[in-house]
Chain A
Amino acid sequence: AQSVSQHNHHVILSEAASLELGCNYSYGGTVNLFWYVQYPGQHLQLLLKYFSGDPLVKGIKGFEAEFIKSKFSFNLRKPSVQWSDTAEYFCAVTSSGGSYIPTFGRGTSLIVHP
């Protein structure tokens, strides 16, 4: 069975600081990887995803993530955060050989101080 681990449960940053949120998964086969974001009072929505090709994926609002297959990782990065990035971030994985059911990490709560 696949699993997803998000190492940082709570992150507090000042505006303009750089961000990196860790995500590791356990599954030996072909995977698809997602980062979803839940802004306060809003729907959970897709930030970015990887399913093939260039392992460096760019998403909305200046976020990017790099798929490193050898490390089973898909860390989320942003060079300079803004107060509006305050949200909860979830990493998720699906496997091509499975039933397409995503497995989610426990989430990381990010607070950005102005």
Chain B
Amino acid sequence: DGGITQSPKYLFRKEGQNVTLSCEQNLNHDAMYWYRQDPGQGLRLIYYSQIVNDFQKGDIAEGYSVSREKKESFPLTVTSAQKNPTAFYLCASAGQGSWKTQYFGPGTRLLVL
């Protein structure tokens, strides 16, 4: 059953703590993306990767970091430098080409304690 999985579904972060959100895909897609979804603001791009071992900053990369060591995996770390981390985080993947559809995971909701 192909698709994208994200874990955990809910994540709680304490002040000053780094947390990592998992994203795995078995669609054999080259490109992977992380978005942040806030009410009324749509999807804002945090980071993206078009190939293993390479990634680029999106529009709101400050306070976040990523890695892409394997084609299937694109974890996102929310660092303590991110001052407003409470949001819904979506991971997506796509094949190469501007006409390619993005496939999204179920999302992780991050809450700050």
Contacts and interface: CB of A to CB of B under 8 A. Distances in A.
Interface of A: 6, 9, 32, 34, 36, 43-46, 49, 51-52, 90, 92, 94-96, 98-102, 104-107
A99 B43 CA distance: 18
Given A43-B104, A43-B105, A44-B104, A104 B43 contact: yes
Contacts of A52: 99
Interface of B: 31, 33, 35, 40-45, 48, 50, 56, 58, 90, 92, 94, 96-102, 104-107
A73 to B, nearest CB: 18
A106 B98 contact: no
Contact of A32 (B90, B99, B104): B99
Contacts of A106: 40-42
A94 B99 contact: yes
A45 B43 contact: no
A102 B42 contact: no
B31 A100 contact: yes
A52 B99 CA distance: 9
Contacts of A45: 104
Nearest to A104: B43
Contact of A49 (B40, B50, B101, B107): B101
